[in-house]
Amino acid sequence: MSTVHAQADPEITLENRNLSAGKPYPLGATVATNGVNFALFSANATKVVLCIFDEFGLNEQQICLTQKTRQIWHGFIEGITAGTLYGYRVYGPFEPLLGHRFNHHKLLLDPYAKQLLGGLEPNDANYGYVLDSNESDLSFCKIDNAPFMPKCVVIDDSALKQKPINRPNIPLEKTIIYEAHVKGFSVLNHEVDDDVKGTFAGLASKSAIQYLSQLGVNCIELLPIHSFFNEPFLLEKQLSNYWGYNSIGFFAPNPSYLSGDTVAEFREMVDTFHEANIEVILDVVYNHTAEGNRLGPTLSFRGIDNASYYRLVSNDQRLYINDTGCGNTFNSNHPQVLQLIMDSLRYWVEVMGVDGFRFDLASCLGRETYGFDPGCGFFDALSQDPVLCQVKLIAEPWDIGPGGYQLGNYPIAFSEWNDRYRDTMRRFWRGDNGMLPEFARRFHGSSDFFEHHGRNPSASINFITSHDGFTLNDLVSYQHRHNLANGEDNRDGHHENLSHNYGVEGETDNPDILNIRSRQQRNLLTTLMLSQGVPMLLSGDEMGHSQQGNNNAYCQDNRICWIDWQNIDWSLVEFTAELIKVRKRFPILCHREFIHQPEAQYDNGFIWYSRHGEPMAKRQWSEFEARTLAVVLTSKTQPPHQHPKALLLLLNADEKSHQFVLPVIDGFNQWQPLINTQQLNNADIEELLEQSKVKVAITALDDAATDDNKQPSFACSHQLTLLGRSLMLFHACH
């Protein structure tokens, strides 16, 4: 049932305040010494009214912005200060068939607002049309929604702009990404003060920084922190959008992540991470907004200039192009919308200090009217921008639109989430047939996708799990999704997860099942950290975190998603930290260029071996049921006065145990154990090696195993038995 509220008289003006023309740039609310400049873009509006509220968000007073320069409405209000609450009412035609949805009865958020106060209260008044009207001929809604809307806050960020940013400047190939949720990471941490749990301050607390530093990651990637709203269908189910992929404010941090009343808390968090030599990357959602489809609420862009801000169906402009699956698609092809995105990105870099971005559904941003184009306007704007071309740029290289899957097709400035890596490593360790060639390509850095136009292995963001899907623990504990808590009868989320439960679905106390699950988690983590490319670790995977089999927990703002700091597998944490130390210790694991056949002995190189200690022959790569493999990685001489080094990785993805013969490489001495997933200590492994010696072919590094007819020489080596689904890592020096 709708409630009618009185609307402020549009003819009322602020008393004792002087309105002057002001300037069209910068857009948004800009504080000056004697007032505030307001500027708002709308190409199709007939009138723009600035609404000023008291400190409680009440007592609305209005000023009409009469100046218009190149479709930007602007005015300077003398006497207004930082902290003032405001919004807009925008007049124009309500003609959905022509793409126009103006409704001056709706208070609208400034797209450039840098802080929001209050939340969005569900109410019929938030819709620009009468809810029970005919969908093909929507009725204009005259109910005022101001009582139910958050208010924009005028921010003076001059002090933040002047504050130095001490960036770690970690090379991309040496970056180790930790994907985390602001609230979920700290809300249950008993070592974080109660008043900052689940906030930016909690994420940057002493205990959190200490944990991440000891783990060894050097980059934290945060799920969306831009202001976002809950979708109406979630509220009906008494759920909420936990992940935050429903942005409404591209400059304003989500209010619930602030422990206080100032956005400087975000910058303080970034500075704290930088002091710990940890970079900060933001997951950003510029592909759609929280206003949803044609029947969604009018909150900001829709009411300011629907035809400019959104991509509409050309022959029926009531409808939105929905390449995102979220109801609408932001129109990044429009120059003013593109400017909004670019201004937002620069703000988070120059003022808030972040080090890069991960672009959600990035194919939407690269799609011109004729389809995806690596040379589109958005990518060109990024590549030439003197600020943004220097930060880390990561694409989620797909959307649901036509031709949306574009893995490997992004410009050189981008790295990309590599889902082919994810799926291959899951299938290999699950024991699927015919996986050896694909495993080798992904482990090598996916050069088949990325080695073109000067791109390097760091173009591949390798991951086993992410926020979207099973956690690592659940990947080896559940055969099927268990998403009933989402209220969609378990129909949502990925159907095929390439997972395995090893005999029991979910939790068990069977020691044999627990052992193999433990090994599989360690196998996958080890593979991730040893592969060429940039590893991304999902927060909680190193602790054994479970989401109870929910593989689409976007709406679970509760203990399903929150990290349980009381029940951590500390042995897995220590194992992961050791893996990260190994990755940092051996530069060959994060090489700047793709490594191919070594041209000289002891040059950087990969050599693949069978479990018999012999170089892989061409026919062995095509053995359908083969699930064992070994690889030797070698590095050049490391200054000062260091010898060439080699790493040997033995992999057994079969369910049965197999004997491995360690390769003999001319010039390298005895292999020393580094990592194993059988949880043996190094002394036991060395003893096992000494107990067994066999004859094996010798291969020099410059003799690569490509010629099946080459006659090798032989020498004495060692052999080891690897349990089913386990691995071992060794190193040796020349």
Residue found under tokens 């998403």: 483
Q: How far apart are CA 633 and CA 264, in angstroms?
A: 46
Q: How far apart are CA 124 and CA 154, in angstroms?
A: 28
- State both tokens at 124: 């019929």
- State both tokens at 170: 């970690």
Closest CA to 232 of 468, 559, 552, 555: 555
- State both tokens at 631: 């690889």
Are 203 and 185 in contact by the 8 Å Cβ rule? The answer is yes
Amino acid at 108: L
Closest CA to 219 of 62, 391, 49, 33: 391
Q: How far apart are CA 691 and CA 368, in angstroms?
A: 65
Catalytic residue among 305, 355, 360, 399: 360
Q: How far apart are CA 298 and CA 280, in angstroms?
A: 33
CA distances from 498 to 460, 474, 597 (A): 21, 11, 32
Helical packing angle, 419-430 and 436-443, nearest 10°:
140
Sign of CA dihedral 601, 602, 604, 608: positive
Q: 730 burial class (0-12, 13-18, 19+ CB within 10 angstroms)?
A: buried
Residues 6+ apart with CB under 8 A from 143: 2, 3, 4, 5, 105, 124, 125
Q: Report helix, strand or coil for 695.
A: strand
Helix residue ranges per DSSP H, 115-176: 158-162
Are 298 and 229 in contact by the 8 Å Cβ rule? The answer is no
- Going by the DSSP 8-state scheme, the letter that residue 615 receives in this structure is B
Phi-psi region of 650 (alpha: psi -120 to 50; beta: other; left: phi over 0): beta
Q: Report helix, strand or coil for 572.
A: helix
Catalytic, 360? Answer: yes
- State both tokens at 220: 């934290």
CA distances from 205 to 213, 355, 409 (A): 12, 20, 39
Beta bridge partners of 694: 717
Q: Dihedral (C-alpha) 415, 591, 444, 676: value to the nearest 10 degrees?
A: -110
Amino acid at 540: G
Q: Report helix, strand or coil for 72.
A: strand
DSSP string, 176-201: -EEEE-HHHHHTT-TTS-GGGTTSHH
3-state per-residue secondary structure call for 335-379: HHHHHHHHHHHHHHHHCCCCCEEEECCHHHCCEECCEECCCCHHH
Q: How far apart are CA 731 and CA 734, in angstroms?
A: 10
- Going by the DSSP 8-state scheme, the letter that residue 13 receives in this structure is -
Catalytic, 135? Answer: no
Q: How far apart are CA 49 and CA 7, in angstroms?
A: 13
Catalytic residue among 60, 305, 396, 474: 396
Residues 6+ apart with CB under 8 A from 334: 308, 309
- State both tokens at 437: 């060639």
Q: Dihedral (C-alpha) 163, 168, 172, 176: value to the nearest 10 degrees?
A: -120
Other C-beta atoms lying within 10 Å of the C-beta of residue 348: 26
Q: Report helix, strand or coil for 449.
A: helix
Are 301 and 289 in contact by the 8 Å Cβ rule? The answer is yes
Closest CA to 303 of 456, 111, 459: 111
Q: Which residues are catalytic?
A: 360, 396
